[in-house]
Amino acid sequence: MNILAIETSCDETSAAVVKDGREVLSNVIASQIEFHKKYGGIVPEVASRLHAECISLIIKDALDRAGKETKEIDAIAVTYGPGLVGSLIVGVSAAKALAYSLKKPLIGVNHLEGHIYANFLEGSSDSMPGTLDASFPFITLLVSGGHTSLVLVKGHGDYETVGQTRDDAAGEAYDKVARFLKIGYPGGPIIDKLAKEGNPDAIHFKRPMIEEEFGLDFSFSGLKTAVVNYVSRLPDPSSLIPDLCASFQAAAIDVLVEKSLKAAELYKCETIALAGGVSANSALRRELKAKAEAKGLAVHIPPFEYCTDNAAMIGAAGHYKRDHSSFSLSPVASARI
């Protein structure tokens, strides 16, 4: 089954053709980062206008690169939320128009489900892991710019959120710290790179909510403030930037990894999957793998190119939604993530 997938929830206009939920025939992404960079974050009105300008071209490009004509497409999958309303509406309108005119089924996909299903996609390079053949249940550490949660995946479309952030998402903390340090946007990849030149033990930032009493919940707002307070006391913070990045990142990752291991133990899962934009982080990928494997747990990390927002992951989730009889198509059930 070939699914044409569309993703416009934030600042990437993306369309993909995915075969049988695993094989990515094409995955075209038009990033708007250059347009938002100067504001240090996404401007919603600008985002939706840019989506509207290029959505048709991106869809056509995805079909061309996949070598498929519309008659070879079996269904259209589209992200319906969560995300920026003005951005979502562009993708949903395009998908509805296509489904109506081509007389194909329309499958609404929750963006967070999409991130989880990035784990089921085949990677394009040999160094990347293959598809997730996890036997359910498994724990997903879902870390993006808008969300941070631990999701127990009991089967296709059967999720339970067992922990989540009480304030900022992990990616949001990366972006805010980077904005404060004036090192660029988006902060995640920049901090990831600079941290490699710094010492993670240079500054000890308290690991937020790591204590037993907080269970599987997270908090990243205080960590961001701790970095801000520390830097405000320095006469010249510029020379310390790599150490600050490495130390901030070490604190964030310690908590993410620790709670993922705890969740796997509590819910008797043998596999932990990573998902969301922050799963592109090199230190998180390394630390989670090392610590989980030391406990005999398997770790699955999506192919690098499907960690941040893309339509291929929406195509994968759409495939299982369409194919799996027990998979709920109800937006209410999906929104529980």
Residues that bind ligand KG4 (CB under 6 A): 10, 144-146, 171, 174-175, 186-189, 192, 276-278, 280-281, 308-309
Residue closer to Zn ion, measured from CB, 27 or 144: 144
Q: What is the CA radius of gyration of the chain?
A: 20
In this complex, which beta carbon is closest to ligand KG4, that of residue 75 or of residue 280?
A: 280
> Which CB sits closer to ligand KG4, 203 or 245?
245
Closest CA to 284 of 272, 270, 295, 296: 272
Q: Which is nearer to ligand KG4, 82 or 222 (CB)?
A: 82
Please, what sign has the CA dihedral across residues 64, 65, 71, 76? negative
H helices of the chain, where? 33-36, 44-66, 85-102, 111-117, 170-181, 187-195, 221-232, 241-266, 282-294, 312-323, 331-334
- Least Å from the CB of residue 187 to ligand KG4: 5
Q: Which tokens go with 321?
A: 């939604």
CB of 115 to ligand KG4, least distance (A): 6
Cα 219 to Cα 208: distance, rounded to the nearest angstrom: 6
Which of residues 243 and 309 has its CB atom nearest to Zn ion in the complex? Answer: 309
Site for Zn ion in 44-73 (CB under 5 A): none
* Residue (75 or 301) nearer to ligand KG4, CB: 301
When CB distances are held under 5 to 8 angstroms depending on the partner's kind, the choice from ligand KG4, Zn ion, none that residue 318 binds is none
Select 8 or 144, whichever has its Cβ closest to Zn ion.
Answer: 144
Could you tell me the CA-to-CA distances from 254 to 16, 210, 271 in Å, in that order? 35, 9, 18
Annotate each residue in 112-151 with x if it binds Zn ion (CB under 5 A) or - if it does not, as one string.
Answer: --------------------------------x-------
In a 10 Å sphere around its CB, with 0-12 CB exposed, 13-18 middle and 19+ buried, how is residue 235 labelled? exposed
In the complex, what is the shortest distance from the CB of residue 169 to Zn ion, in angstroms, rounded to a whole number?
A: 10
Cis peptide bond N-terminal to 44, omega within 30: no
Minimum CB separation of residue 1 from ligand KG4 in Å reads: 26
At closest approach, how far in Å is the CB of 233 from ligand KG4? Answer: 26
Interface map 293-312 toward Zn ion (x if CB under 5 A): ----------------x---
Residue 12 within binding range of Zn ion, rule CB under 5 A: no
Question: Whose CA is closest to 223, among 260, 171, 258, 285?
Answer: 171
With CB cut-offs between 5 and 8 Å by kind, which of ligand KG4, Zn ion, none does residue 187 bind? ligand KG4
Pairing mode, strands 271-275 and 148-155:
unpaired
CB neighbour list of residue 247: distance below 8 Å, 6 or more residues apart: 198, 199, 200, 201, 202, 203, 204, 205
